[in-house]
Structure 1
Amino acid sequence: MIPELPNIDPELLGLPSQEQLAKPAVLHKPRILLLYGSNRARSYSRLLTEEAARLLEQIGADTRIFNPSGLPLPDDAPEDHPKVQELRELVLWSEGMVWCSPERHGAMTGVFKSQIDWVPLSMGAVRPTQGKTLALMQVSGGSQSFNALNQMRVLGRWMRMFTIPNQSSVAKAFLEFDEAGRMKPSAYYDRVVDVMEELVKFTLLLREQSDYLVDRYSERKESAEQLSKRVNQPSI
């Protein structure tokens, strides 16, 4: 059937079709985990994250916010540390995520990166982030910047997530929140609404489909080879 592709096993090659994407709708609310990148008492990344969670709840999502305070540095504590376990359980629970980091020294913060570093690409047979949706936000103390956003977008791709096109960057964040910690009306606020709407739409679109969309020929081939070895292994 494929004489021009001698390196391909035609029995393992996927043939995508619209029918394979047609699955019954899942009725539970989209499960969104929100992470932020500062432990300050008045953390603007936390305040922006909390505002995003309120919007998501209003749009119809189920949200959880992880508090990074007390999370040890990667590899500076065992994996059964309570904060590590809490983070990993939330990642497994989620269908999508919101990442929000301040920009510090032109980059995402260590507080934020440490959270991601505690989440492995695989946990046994489970890939906790693969195929999940991701929305990105950053806050800046000065003029508008996209350095942390760009870094998190690369990181999201590395974690095998579907990062939505829209994003939010809030400049001079100390001017955008009132004394109660609520975000003031502005074009920045409207963009956050846009991003949260888009995240929910993509999460609904991709739910129950992500396993199929990230099903890879190379991994099917590896699994078939491992199964063949076990079947052909002589019994003792």
Structure 2
Amino acid sequence: MTKDLPNIEPDSFQRPDLDTLSLPGEPGHPPRVLMLYGSLRGRSYSRFLTLEAKRVLEALGAEVKVFDPAGLPLVSDEAEGHPKVLELRELSLWSEAQVWCSPERHGAMTGVMKTQIDWLPLAPIGGVRPTQGRTLALMQVSGGSQSFNTLNQMRVLGRWMRMITIPNQSSVPKAFAEFDEEGRMKPSPFYNRMVDVMEELMKFTLLTRGRSEYLVDRYSERVESAEALSLRVNQRSI
């Protein structure tokens, strides 16, 4: 299970206990996780961190898909049907959890990261909202000292997108020193924190995915739906 994770201590690495975290009749398939990263560079540390976290999630029992942002256009009416936009939205609809990982650039998340989030609408697609009720884990990499600016920004966005953003988070400073030439993360407290975040994401996902529709069911939306139904039923013929 941990053969591709040389930094993991096998005796301390535990998959979430489905019997403890799930109720009878809840989904039994592997949690479906979509991962987004915010850099197009050839040696992208946000991509390296994302792929390292992917290995951990798969070892924890998740089914993981990583979206490649290369070729994703800026948000515009003309690009609504672009293949990369459709791919991103389909992956978001498929997901039960997401991981967002961005470099910090000029004290903020990158435009690449923000564009991906901007293409995910709050409005339903085919009757399903692409982010609402999904769990979310956040990670960032920095070229200098440790910072949490990007994490704080993405946490605001996660709340805005009606996602269940887990408390733990990962910030990797001086990322150039934390990865080897092959892009694998070196053993360190930063690596251990990343594992903590992925473990917590799995637990929160298992706890909430069978209940997410109930958790995000809102009085205001039920009232609006009732009013819309009343208007339709009681409207006079033209």
Normalising by structure 1, what TM-score?
A: 0.89
Q: Secondary structure at the match of 1:114?
A: helix
The residue that corresponds to 2:32 in the other structure is 31
Structure 1 residue ranges, 4+ long, deviating more than 3 angstroms after superposition: none
Alignment partner of 1:176 is 2:178: yes
Question: What fraction of aligned residue pairs are identical, expressed as a percent?
Answer: 73
Amino acid in the other structure paired with 1:75 = S
Shift of the 39–205 alpha-carbon distance from structure 1 to 2, 3 Å rule, reads same
Higher deviation after alignment, 201-210 or 71-80:
71-80
Q: Secondary structure at the match of 2:151?
A: helix
- Residue 76 of structure 1 and its aligned partner are, at CA, apart by 6.9
The residue that corresponds to 2:148 in the other structure is 146
Count of aligned pairs: 216
Q: Distance in 2 between matches of 1:47 and 1:139?
A: 10
Q: Secondary structure at the match of 1:103?
A: strand
- Residue 123 of structure 1 and its aligned partner are, at CA, apart by 3.1
Amino acid in the other structure paired with 1:132 = R
Alignment partner of 1:65 is 2:66: yes
For the pair shown, the structure with the greater C-alpha radius of gyration is 1
Match of 1:197 among 176, 199, 202: 199
Match of 2:215 among 213, 216, 234: 213
Amino acid in the other structure paired with 1:84 = V
- Residue 78 of structure 1 and its aligned partner are, at CA, apart by 2.0
The residue that corresponds to 1:166 in the other structure is 168
Q: Distance in 1 between matches of 2:83 and 2:229?
A: 37
Q: Can you list the C-alpha shifts for 1:203-232, whole angstroms capped at 9, x where unaligned?
A: 000012111011111111111111111121
Normalising by structure 2, what TM-score?
A: 0.88
The residue that corresponds to 1:52 in the other structure is 53
The residue that corresponds to 1:88 in the other structure is 89
Q: Which runs of 5+ in 1 are unaligned?
A: 1-20
Whether contact under 8 Å (1:97, 1:134) holds in the other structure is yes
Q: Distance in 2 between matches of 1:152 and 1:127?
A: 19
The residue that corresponds to 1:136 in the other structure is 138
Whether contact under 8 Å (1:140, 1:173) holds in the other structure is yes
Q: Which runs of 5+ in 2 are unaligned?
A: 1-21
Q: CA RMSD in A?
A: 1.4
Whether contact under 8 Å (1:23, 1:208) holds in the other structure is no
Alignment partner of 1:103 is 2:104: yes
